[in-house]
Amino acid sequence: MESVLTASPGPCAKGRPREFCTDTALAAALRVFWSKGYEGTSLADLTEAMGITRPSLYAAFGNKEALFHKALDLYEQEKLEYMRAALEQPTARGVAETILRGALAMQTSPGEPKGCLGVIATMPCGSEADSVRGEMIARRASSQAALVERFERAKADGDLPAAVDISGLTSYLYALLQGMAVQAGSGAKRDELERMVDTSLAMWPSR
């Protein structure tokens, strides 16, 4: 693996020049966390993948937890764009389909770690990952709240049946996403997960 120490700073350099590109190093750290989870990732794993020393890691990113938070921000910006696009869909079913198919594409993308960082990073989740788990719960709650609001609008507009439990529907959708992530991380084939998505959408409530 080519060390990012030899990389040209390019657009990554801001302020005092560093000996490495922080953007490249952070992307490498993201892949390690995504592949091994938070507890399963050691500092040695990180420094090897990032091509930097421990002092450089601490100076640029802080400790392991701080680095994970930065990696999670990058993951949300680059890998979860489909979640933002979903909220703009004209129908509730369109929202669900965009989320499920976007998650499927991301979780089974060739050349990328399988599954979802938010699920994999906290499995298993011992005491070391308590603060990380809390952060993941908070972020998921914020995302779910946005979906609840979108589905409530759909219900008010007559796009969803009046009897639908919006909170339950949103929780169901997230349970599907978590299940897909676990299965993808365990080696499930794409066509297996596609059938799960198709079945779930066929059962989607409509007027």
Statement to judge: residues 89 and 171 lie in one domain: yes
Cα distance between residue 203 and residue 185, in whole Å: 25
Q: What whole-number percentage of the chain has pLDDT above 90?
A: 59
Q: How confident is the model at residue 11 (pLDDT cuts 50, 70, 90)?
A: very low
1-5, 34-38, 117-121: the lowest-pLDDT one: 1-5
Residue-level pLDDT at 193: 93
Tell me which residue range forms the domain holding 60: 21-74
Residue-level pLDDT at 125: 58
Cα distance between residue 74 and residue 119, in whole Å: 16
pLDDT digits (tens, 9 = 90+) for 66-95: 999 999 999 999 888 999 999 999 999 999
Q: How confident is the model at residue 161 (pLDDT cuts 50, 70, 90)?
A: very high
pLDDT digits (tens, 9 = 90+) for 19-72: 779 999 999 999 999 888 888 899 999 999 999 999 999 999 999 999 999 999
For residue 128, pLDDT over 80 is answered with no
Residue-level pLDDT at 119: 73
Domain of 50: which CATH number?
1.10.10.60
Concatenate the DSSP letters of all residues of the chain into one string: ---GGGS--GGG--SS--SS-HHHHHHHHHHHHHHH-TTT--HHHHHHHHT--HHHHHHHH-SHHHHHHHHHHHHHHHH-HHHHHHTTSSSHHHHHHHHHHHHHHHHT-TTS-SS-HHHHTTSS--GGGHHHHHHHHHHHHHHHHHHHHHHHHHHHTTSS-TT--HHHHHHHHHHHHHHHHHHHHTT--HHHHHHHHHHHHHT----
Statement to judge: residues 117 and 68 lie in one domain: no
Statement to judge: residues 104 and 188 lie in one domain: yes
Statement to judge: residues 99 and 32 lie in one domain: no
Q: Is residue 7 part of a domain?
A: no
Statement to judge: residues 95 and 159 lie in one domain: yes
Residue-level pLDDT at 2: 32
